Amino acid sequence: MKPFQGNFTLQEPIPEAAIDAAVEVMRSGRLHRYNAAAEQQSPVAALEAAYADYQGARFCLACASGGAAMALALRAHGVGAGDKVLTNAFTLAPVPGAIAAVGAEAVLVEITEDLVLDLSDLDAKIGASGARTLLLSHMRGHLCDMEALCDLLTARGVTLIEDCAHTMGASWNGRKSGNFGLAGCFSAQTYKHVNSGEGGLLTSDDPDFIARAILLSGSYMLYDRHGAAPGPEAFASLRFDMPNMSSRMDNLRAAILLPQISTLDANVDRWNARYDLIAARLAECPLLRVPHRPAPERYVGSSIQFRVPGASADMLEAYVTKAAALGVDLKWFGRAEPVAFTSTHHSWRYVPAQSLPHTDRVLANLMDMRLPLTFSLEDCAHIADILVHCAQDLSLPGAA
C-alpha cells in the first residue's frame, strides 16, 4: 500500500481579499473593535452584520473565541455558581470548560452509537438534576433530531444554547444549526469552517439576552457601535449591572473572517464531497462502522468519525500505528490518556465524576480524522483505501 503524503493540519490559504483587508487594518493601526473613525463601521461591526444575515438571526456578537461565546451565553442567560447545566458526555473540553468558567456544574448526558445526544437519557437527567439549561454540543458536526429535542425541552422548561463550533453552515430540515434555541455559539478557530486562528460568534433573536452578552463582552458603553445589536433601550436597565469580561474580537481577525462568509456554503459542499466519498468506502468494510446521517441533516463533513467494533485496546493501538505509518493521522478517543484534543469526561477533573457506561463503550473504539479542503477527492480515495487496508490487517472476526 502506497503511503499518503498529505498533511492533516494544513488548511487552505487565507483568501487574498482577506489578506488585503487585514493589511489595511494593520496599516490603520485601528485594531481594537471600538477604535474606528466616527463615520466608519469597524470590521468587527461589519462582520457581525454579515454573519447575522448569513445565519438568519436578528443579532450577532463577535467574540474572542468559541469558548468565550459559550461562557458569555451561559452568563447572559443567568447561569451562575452552583447551577447545573446539561451537556453531551462526548464533546471537547471547551464545552464543560465554559460551564466551569461561570461556576456552574456540568451534568453529562449519554450519547447514541451515532454520536448524538441520547434523548431518553436527557429526559432522565433533566428530572434527576433539576437543570434548566442545555448547552448542546453538535460534536463533530452530528445533529440529533432537533424537532424531537426542542419538543422535549419545551415540555420540560429547559433552555437550549447550541455549541455550533462544528456545524457552522449545517442545518436540520432546512433550519440552520444555532437557530433552534436561545443562542448559537460558533468558532473561527483554524480547524473550524472559517479561519482567523481564534475567534467566536454568538447569535440570538432575543434582544435582552444579546444586550447582556454585549455588555459582558466588554463594550465600554459603546454598544451603539455594534453591527447587529438591539437599540439603546435594550441596554438602559442593564448597562450598570453587567461586569466586563473582556471577550471582544479585534478588527484584524474580523477583517480576515469577513470575506470567508461569502464562500462558506460552497465550502460546505466541498467538505461533504470529501466526507461522502470516504464514508461510502468505509461503509463497504464490515469491520468498520460509520455513524448514520439522517435525511433531515445537512452536515458539514470537515471531519469523519468511525468505529472499529470488537477491537481490543491493543488492536486499536495497532490500527492507529499502522495508519500513521501509511501517512494517515487518526485520533482515537478511547485511549487511556488524552492526546491533543481527544480528552474525555474521565480527564475533566473540574467536572464531578459521572457514570456514563454507554458513552464509554462508544468512545472505546471511536476514530476521528480531519478532512481539510487541501485534500483532493483522489487524496480522499487513497485515505479510505488505507483505512480499510489497515482494518483488514487486524485479527478481528471476519477480517480477511
Task: Kindly state whether residues 320 and 229 are assigned to the same domain.
Answer: no
**pLDDT value at 340 more than 90:** no
Over residues 187-215, the mean pLDDT reads 98
Task: Kindly state whether residues 106 and 45 are assigned to the same domain.
Answer: yes
Give percent of the chain above pLDDT 90.
Answer: 94
Give the total number of structural domains in the chain. Answer: 2
Task: Kindly state whether residues 86 and 225 are assigned to the same domain.
Answer: yes
Task: Kindly state whether residues 256 and 271 are assigned to the same domain.
Answer: no
Over residues 138-143, the mean pLDDT reads 98
Task: Kindly state whether residues 79 and 160 are assigned to the same domain.
Answer: yes
Last residue of a domain, one of 222, 237, 261: 261
pLDDT score of 339 = 83
Task: Kindly state whether residues 192 and 273 are assigned to the same domain.
Answer: no
Task: Kindly state whether residues 82 and 211 are assigned to the same domain.
Answer: yes
Task: Kindly state whether residues 188 and 235 are assigned to the same domain.
Answer: yes
pLDDT grade for 37, boundaries at 50, 70 and 90 = confident
Is 4 part of any domain?
A: no
Q: Which residue has the higher pLDDT, 8 or 398?
A: 8
Instruction: Residue 376: give the domain boundaries.
Output: 264-392
303: domain CATH number?
3.90.1150.10
Task: Kindly state whether residues 125 and 71 are assigned to the same domain.
Answer: yes
Task: Kindly state whether residues 344 and 290 are assigned to the same domain.
Answer: yes
The average confidence (pLDDT) of the chain is 96
Last residue of a domain, one of 245, 261, 277: 261
Q: Which of 25-39, 315-329, 364-378, 385-399 has the lowest mean pLDDT?
A: 385-399
The secondary structure of the chain, three-state, reads CCCCCCCCCCCCCCCHHHHHHHHHHHHHCCCCCCCCCCCCCCHHHHHHHHHHHHHCCCEEEEECCHHHHHHHHHHHHCCCCCCEEEEECCCCCHHHHHHHHCCCEEEEECECCCCCECHHHHHHHHHHHCCCEEEEECHHHCCCCHHHHHHHHHHHCCEEEEECCCCCCCEECCEECCCCCCEEEEECCCCCCCCCCCCEEEEECCHHHHHHHHHHHHCCCCHHHCCCCCCHHHCCCCCCCCCCCCCECCHHHHHHHHHHHCCHHHHHHHHHHHHHHHHHHHHCCCCCECCCCCCCEECCCCEEEEECCCCCHHHHHHHHHHHHHCCCCCEECCCCCCCCCCCCHHHCCCCCCCCCHHHHHHHHCEEEEECCCCCCHHHHHHHHHHHHHHHHCCCCCCCC
134: domain CATH number?
3.40.640.10
pLDDT in tens, 113-140: 999 999 999 999 999 999 999 999 999 9
Is 114 part of any domain?
A: yes
pLDDT score of 400 = 46
pLDDT grade for 398, boundaries at 50, 70 and 90 = low
Task: Kindly state whether residues 177 and 281 are assigned to the same domain.
Answer: no
**pLDDT value at 38 more than 80:** no
Over residues 90-113, the mean pLDDT reads 97
